[in-house]
Amino acid sequence: MRTFGERLSDAVGARGPLCVGIDPHVPLLAKWGLPDSPEGLARFTDAVVDALAGSVAVLKPQLAFYERHGSRGLAVLEDAVPRARAAGALVLLDAKRGDIGSTMDAYADYLRPDHPLAIDAMTVSPFLGPDSLQPAVDTAREFGGGLFVLARTSNPDAGTLQHAVVGERTVAQAVVDTVGGWNAADGSGSFGVVVGATLAEMDVDLDRLGGPVLAPGLGAQGGSVADVRRLFGAGVRVLPSVSRDVLAAGPDPAALRAAADRWAAELAG
């Protein structure tokens, strides 16, 4: 069984590091001329998957936009995720789950190959402590999945908690060090962190992470390729993530591909 870290390295090597979010929020559905309904959601998702799954390394659906439509919204993802993976894209579910014990174990089931919504990786929250994520770590290791743990996000008030000091480290650094320990323990490189691409400066040390960094915020949120290079430099495996700046080009498939190709070319330049 190949690990998520291995699959990610292959996908990035073949397709470049771009991650495209699938965020079908109401204004974007309206811009596409689609209703805010399960039918509109399906048409939007199908168009993005059909246009991009064959060329980008990672697609990142935001689970909340599907859950808000109930079981019919989740059914859209259950159809789209295996098609995206069959076309060669890795699927990173942006779920930001965090809990303890059997509840975290149940969330981690998304990483099982027999789950109706089997994915490659998911985002998780460490707020309840490192041990709270152990069920997800165990499931990821068992089935070759990956995790991206919220560490240093770039929303304006993130520092309220992430800059708090525990011992001699900030909370954000403690998260990074914890994830680095998981990678050091098994050498898989399957465990990453989320660090925003719109930070004013890099204030966590990623040298011993040993895994990937998901860097959201390109485009409409103000981040640029120059910011990615300024913040992360060489030697850090970064997945820059863009959503609205690509999705706004739809619903035309060629326009969606062209928008993603422009970002990919700039990242490669």
Residues belonging to the active site: 96
Secondary structure class of 251 (helix, strand, coil): coil
The strand ranges marked E within 98-157 are 121-124, 146-152
Alpha carbon 168 to chain centroid distance?
Answer: 29
Say how far apart CA 213 and CA 192 lie, in whole Å. Answer: 5
Buried b (16+ CB within 10 A) or exposed e, 83-117: ebbeeebbbbbbbbbbbeeeebeebbbbbeeeeeb
Residue 232 CB partners (closer than 8 Å, separation 6+): 195, 202, 206, 213, 215, 238
Q: How far apart, in whole angstroms, are the C-alpha atoms of residue 82 and residue 59?
A: 12
- Are residues 135 and 144 in contact, defined by beta-carbon separation less than 8 angstroms? no
The tokens for 51 are: 């246009």
Number of helices (H) and strands (E) in the chain: give both, helices first: 12, 10
